[in-house]
Amino acid sequence: MYSWVQKRGKTPVRVRTDEKRHEILKAARAVIEEVGSHRASMTAIAARLGGSKATLYGYFATKERLLAAAMVDAVEARGLDLLTILNSQDTDAGRVLTAFGAAYLPFVTSAEITSLSRTAIAEAATSEFGRELYALGPQRVWAAVSAYLAGQMAEGKLRRAAPDLAAFQFKGLIEAGILEPRLFGVEPRFDPKEVVADAVAVFMASYGVPTGGADEP
């Protein structure tokens, strides 16, 4: 719930708490499960919460941000596990990227994530929901990969290049023949383990540093 902070000579003010935020997200997920994200409303979520719409807006500026946060929250822990891999103490970029790819593919092709992706794409043309969901999910993950690659490049362990482009090229390699079929309800064309191994091999062949040091810019 809200906690109250009393400052001398001033009226107590309400402070947003993680507990209340969690309650809001739980209520939003329940409404989404009942009526779908396109029909979920702030009124329905407030009723489920047992509060007011003003409370919801105190935590989330728009309905789209709330819905996106509610849907991402359900898979947040697994997403954070992916980012943990990038913080490995392993100094071999190839091994780190292999571990990341091996964890990423089962995650991104899971029922929960494919459902989120389909919903975001379906509503992208008519609301901000898709944009909010992308910002909270895929954008965060691949920004982290880009940051990891930038660090490897700065240390001379990978060829100097645009890290954002390199990250999305790696994304394309490990998703090839796997993600798109799953989004259409079709089994992947290739074995995920083989795809990851080949993706890392291709990526390192392009960005790996030859014996003798990093390329000059």
Predicted pLDDT of residue 6: 38
| 88 and 136, same domain (yes or no) | yes
For residue 217, being part of any structural domain is answered with no
Q: Write out residues in the chain with pLDDT < 70, as ranges.
A: 1-16, 211-217
| 45 and 120, same domain (yes or no) | no
Count other C-beta atoms under 10 Å from residue 112's C-beta. Answer: 12
Residue 91: what residue type? T
Q: Total domain count for the chain?
A: 2
Predicted pLDDT of residue 212: 57
pTM equals: 0.77
| 175 and 86, same domain (yes or no) | yes
Burial of 185: CB neighbours in 10 Å, binned 0-12, 13-18, 19+: exposed
Q: Which of 62, 90, 109 is the last residue of a domain?
A: 62
| 40 and 89, same domain (yes or no) | no
CA angle 135, 130, 162 (to 5 degrees): 40
| 194 and 117, same domain (yes or no) | yes
Token duo for residue 138: 């895929």
For residue 27, being part of any structural domain is answered with yes
Question: For 4, what's the count of Cα atoms within 13 Å in the CB-facing half-sphere?
Answer: 4
Predicted pLDDT of residue 24: 92
Q: What is the DSSP code (8-state) at residue 190?
A: S
Token duo for residue 92: 């071999």
Contact predicate 136/74, CB 8 Å: no
CA angle 130, 134, 140 (to 5 degrees): 165
Count other C-beta atoms under 10 Å from residue 188's C-beta. Answer: 17
Measured over all CA atoms, what is the biggest interatomic distance in the chain, rounded to whole angstroms? 68
| 100 and 176, same domain (yes or no) | yes
For residue 146, being part of any structural domain is answered with yes
| 101 and 7, same domain (yes or no) | no
- Cα 124 to the chain's mean position, in Å? 17
- Cα 50 to the chain's mean position, in Å? 30
CATH of the domain at 47: 1.10.10.60
Contact predicate 93/152, CB 8 Å: yes
Predicted pLDDT of residue 56: 93
Count other C-beta atoms under 10 Å from residue 106's C-beta. Answer: 11
Predicted pLDDT of residue 16: 60
List 142's β-bridge partners, or say none.
Answer: none
Q: Residue 182 and residue 122: Cα distance in Å, rounded? A: 16
Range of the domain at 200: 76-207
